[in-house]
A and B are shown apart, each in its own frame.
Chain A
Amino acid sequence: MSRGTRGAKGESKQERKIVHLEREALQTALGTRQHKYIGKPQPLIDGVDKSTGRGKYSGDFNFPDALVGRILRSPHAHARIVSIDVSAALAMEGVRAVVTGADTDTPFGVLPVARDEYALAKEKVRYKGEEVAAVAAVDAWTAEQALAAIQVVYEPLRSYTDPREAMADGAEQIQPHKPGNIEREVDHEFGDVDAGFAASDAILEEEFYAPEVTHAQMEPHAAVGQWDEQHGRLTLWCSTQVPYYVHMSLSAVMGLDMSQIRVIKPMVGGGFGCKTEAQSYEMICGLLARKARGTVKLVVSREEVFFAHRGRPATWTRLRLGCTNDGRLQAVSAEVIQRGGAYGGYGVVTILYAGALLNAIYNIRNVRYKGFRVLTNTPANGAMRGHGTVDTRFAFESMLDMMARKLGLDAVELRKRNLLQTPTMTVNDLLVNSYGYPECIDKVLEASHYHAKVGKLPFGKGIGFAGSHYCSGSAKPVNRSHMPHAVVTMKLDIDGSITLFTGAAEIGQGSSTVMMQIAAEVIGVSPARFRVVAADSAITPKDNGSYSSRVTLYVGNATVQAAERMRDVVFQAAARGLNAFPIDVELVGDEFRLISDPDKTLPFKDMVEIALSYEGTIVTKGTYATPKITHGGENYRGAGIGASPAFSYSAQAVEVDVDIRTGKVTVENVTVAHDCGFALNPLSVRGQVEGSVWMGMAQGRQEETNYENGLPLAPNLLDYRFPTIMESPPIETIIVESNESGGPFGAKEAGEGSLAAFLPALANAIHDAIGVRVKDLPLSPEKVHAAIQQARKARKVSAAPIAEAGR
């Protein structure tokens, strides 16, 4: 402790106090604060563990006595199970447990309205690759021999890959409780759509198609289940985005009280939505561990990841758009069919998202939406980055360009004429508060030189523009309760460290790092004192998990509250040590000092001693629940989906080179501006935005999952061709900060909203390059080439040169 010396710059104490107060006043007047730990690029707190290989993923836990789990999967897309005989497998040396559908009587599923799946098939299999039986054995070889020894007799049934056939009269019913194979039909109308079309000068109607795509996260699903026979308890390590769903589902499927189950989420090698739902392999791992009375490690193969994936559904969209001559959108009507796969999964939510987020980006007062989620004999589709909104955004933003051409307007100008005036409530009752979309548009136009290029580049080269948006968390969780949406606890102990406990799953998106930054900022304590413990049900508070881009806003707000409470304790203790009021104390480095007399100081460890006296370890808690006004409407079914405390916005310009002979499209560069409210960690925001843009490119350019008799045609990372480093373009990322008043320090979503805009921007760029509009994804050489051939045929009739059509 230093006393009685003058400050470093030689100014008197009084001068320093005045300077300090003036600075405070100035910052208050400007409405900004000088941030110490947020708003600056912060490498991830688990980054070193990743680059050294030290970090443990679920498959990295080696227990010496662990058994190997393997799953037997259905070879049929749709069949009745006549019999299963496991006796030969059970009799094999080294086989410790075999489980089938007979081992569980309780179905599970992510949505309370669609708990229609068993951990292992009962009576029927509904897609190729569905789990039928599983074994735990002393090694992989024995486990595979045992699978081969299981005798299953099937009676094949008619199967459906095309939802339009599954919906047809007389089709075989896939689920007994879903007549006509309709998982969910949505019929929404807001405003007066017929009047809107009547008031339109131009009406366009087009059909768009987007095939099924999948997450292809780098880490195949993995779990380790450890059964404690003496206490009847299960511990499960698994690769999940939502440990709480796994916890609830295991309890239901295993008939085991939740208090007897511990779910631990180690490092997770990518999610993108595929690890949101609790899945059969996790349930099977628990069942096998209990039956074998031991530890079972179950790592699924890459092929199995494809067989049982929960990707983005194939989507057929018919879109009708009405507009006045001066470019005011009057009405939109959308009909969407999603191929849902064999089980409900997230389907009801996905089909509702597709309609709900037609809104909340442009001002349209008349909106009709008809959606069909259809059951088929393919893997149950689920949540994937940009959940439900991507394929309809592709259709909508493609059509805005078509409409602009029809009206002779600039495509971006058409968008600008239909911006929202915020804050506002959309026709479907979504609250839009912060809205950085106009700024995103302007920044992208400027940085990409869009207007100097569009329509002016040489034939074969083009530029396209599009926008997109996404929610920052679903305002109502799927499991309704009166619990807060997020809880964070924080502990200060004798070692002077602060540990932050959260159930939010860090899956590589950087959530633990952001929570640490927020806590450090609020308390004023250096990040070096922090640890974050994320997602272990025995230790961390329950959290709804990492999905719908909810974590930054929800868990961030809970972290702010827990940290404010910790700050109060810390500063009161420091004030006691300095014989002052907390308001007169500041923390500089590792020392507290009196603002009025900076030479009076107290080391951090002395503060800890005071804080813990008579009290012991300090624990604080923060919670967050979404405000009611953000919950969406109550007067129609499905109103809760799409509602969010805040929406992110994105604008993109994509430049392409199209080889007219082969149809090959090269993406030369991308400019993106993303409104994330406030960039708590600009390094992560850039990473998330670039990753989203790139994933949009992957879907837009080359990815698709097709089936032959129910069998996926590309169930490996060679045939499911996502882009390598060779075809990945430079991306210029611009961060827009609209300062969301409901977010922690103004922050909102950054990890999903920029995906969707890429796809239509690409289609618009191809049109700009060669005058051909492609409405079927992916915009692969085959599809683009076919569209060019079609345009050539049409040209013979219309005599319009292809290069000028529509340019």
Chain B
Amino acid sequence: MKTLISLIINGRKREEAVGGSELLIELLRDRLGLTGTKMGCDGGDCGACTVLVDGEPTLSCLTPAAAVDGCEITTVEGLATSGGLHPIQEGFHLKLGSQCGFCTPGMIMAAKALLDKHPEPSPQEIRAGLANNLCRCTGYNSIIASVQYAAEKLKQATRARTRGGP
């Protein structure tokens, strides 16, 4: 028995018929080809599958697809809106927040949720915001630096917008 759900994924309206046991990560990866979101464990331990559901960081490997009916989903593929890199992506690239890159999409989405709430996080706030996401390569310091880079860049962009505004 399938349920028809309508949702917005990366700014695009979609209608999908989903099975009762189908997970959001299966819908994203296997049916829509959005393979940026990764599966690193058997459910809920590693954070690699983190996406934003209505702005909240959510484990897509534990979320039934049917439960996100009417929601707005953002995955790592939907982060850069103007074609270039989002400042968080740029931070992970330039500061080597990614080595193997497998935790990166989840890490970046968790960082997005963090910076949306706390635009100028302290290192301890960054740690708390990314505490559900495991990385096995970096030792995490370069990830903190990547998020700090993004926070700084976003701050400058906000200032420029405010100054240029009416």
Chain A residue numbers with a CB within 8 Å of B140 are: 694, 725, 728
A53:B139 contact, CB within 8 angstroms:
no
Cβ contacts A to B, 9 pairs, < 8 Å: A46-B101, A48-B93, A50-B101, A51-B108, A218-B48, A686-B142, A687-B96, A687-B138, A725-B140
Near B by CB (< 8 A), chain A positions 260-276 give 267-272
B141 and A730 within 8 A (CB): yes
CB pair B136–A218 under 8 Å, yes or no, is yes
- Asked if A510 CB lies within 8 Å of chain B CBs, one says yes
Query: A561 vs B93: C-alpha distance in the bound complex, in angstroms?
Result: 30
- 19 further A-B contacts with Cβ under 8 Å, apart from A47-B93, A508-B98, A693-B139, are A48-B93, A50-B92, A51-B85, A51-B92, A52-B36, A52-B85, A218-B103, A218-B135, A269-B38, A269-B100, A272-B136, A303-B42, A684-B96, A691-B138, A716-B42, A725-B127, A725-B130, A728-B139, A731-B139
* Interchain nearest-CB distance for B151 vs A (Å): 16
A728 to B, closest residue via Cβ: B140
A690 in contact (CB, < 8 A): yes
Comparing B1-9, B52-60, B73-81, B152-160, the segment that makes contact with chain A is B73-81
Please report the C-alpha to C-alpha distance between residue A56 and residue B105 in the assembled complex, in whole angstroms. Answer: 12
A509, CB-defined interface residue at 8 Å: yes
Most buried by A among B79, B92, B96, B126: B96
Whether A54 is near chain B, meaning CB under 8 Å from some CB there, is yes
A-chain residues with CB within 8 Å of residue B101 when the two chains form the complex:
46-47, 49-51, 55, 267, 269, 508
Query: Interface readout for A54-82 with B: 1 if CB under 8 Å, 0 if not?
Result: 11110110100000000000000000000
State whether B92 touches A731 (Cβ < 8 A).
no
A-chain residues with CB within 8 Å of residue B42 when the two chains form the complex = 301-303, 716
Residues from chain B with Cβ under 8 Å of A268 in the complex: 100
Report the minimum CB–CB distance from B20 to chain A (whole Å). Answer: 12
Residue from A50, A684, A724 in contact with B104 in the complex, judged by beta carbons closer than 8 Å = A50
List B contacts of A731 (CB < 8 A).
Answer: 139, 141
Report whether B35 and A62 are in contact in the complex, using a CB–CB cutoff of 8 Å: yes
Flag if B134 contacts A722 (CB, 8 Å): yes
The yes or no answer to A726 lying at the interface (CB within 8 A) is yes
* Distance between Cα atoms of A51 and B85 in the complex (Å): 9
Residue numbers in A under 8 Å from B103 (CB-CB): 218
Highest count of chain B CB atoms <10 Å: which of A51, A219, A509, A725: A51
B102 neighbours in A (Cβ, 8 Å): 57, 217-219, 269-270
**A718–B43 alpha-carbon span in the complex (Å):** 10
The residue on B at minimum CB distance from A269 is: B102
Determine whether B40 belongs to the interface, using a CB cutoff of 8 Å to chain A: yes
Q: Cβ of B35: which chain A residues have Cβ within 8 Å of it?
A: 53, 56-57, 59-60, 62
The 8 Å CB contact of A52, one of B40, B44, B76, B136, is B76
Within residues 92 to 148 of chain B, which ones have a CB less than 8 A from any CB in chain A? 92-94, 96-105, 108, 126-128, 130-131, 133-144
**Which residue in chain B gives the minimum CB-CB distance to A217?**
B136
Q: A684: which B residues are within 8 A, CB to CB?
A: 96
Q: Is the interface of B mostly helix, strand, loop or mixed?
A: loop
Residues of A within 8 A of B128 (CB): 726
- Tell whether A690 pairs with B134 under 8 Å between CB atoms, given A51-B85, A726-B127: no
Least Cβ–Cβ distance between B22 and chain A, in angstroms = 11
Nearest residue (CB) in B for A141 is B21
Q: Which residues of B contact A57 (CB under 8 A)?
A: 35, 38, 102
Tell whether, in the assembled complex, residue A53 and residue B75 are in contact, meaning their CB atoms are under 8 Å apart: yes
Chain B residues positioned under 8 Å from A59 (CB to CB): 35, 39
User: Within residues 1 to 57 of chain B, which ones have a CB less than 8 A from any CB in chain A?
Assistant: 29-30, 33-42, 44-46, 48
CB of A220 within 8 Å of the partner chain: yes
How far, in angstroms, from A301 to B45 measured CA to CA in the complex? 13
| CA A190 to CA B48, docked complex, whole Å | 50
Chain B residues near A801: list those with CB within 8 A: none
A186 at the interface (CB under 8 A from B): no
Asked if B85 and A48 make an inter-chain contact with CB atoms under 8 angstroms apart, the answer reads yes
Point out the residue from A47, A51, A691 that lies within 8 Å of B137, measured CB to CB: A691
CB distance A725 to B133 under 8 Å?
yes
Return A505 CB to nearest CB of chain B, in Å.
Answer: 12
8 residue pairs, one from A and one from B, having the closest CB atoms = A53-B36, A508-B100, A50-B101, A694-B139, A269-B102, A53-B76, A60-B35, A717-B45
Q: Is A683 an interface residue (CB 8 A)?
A: yes
Are A53 and B77 touching (Cβ within 8 A)? yes
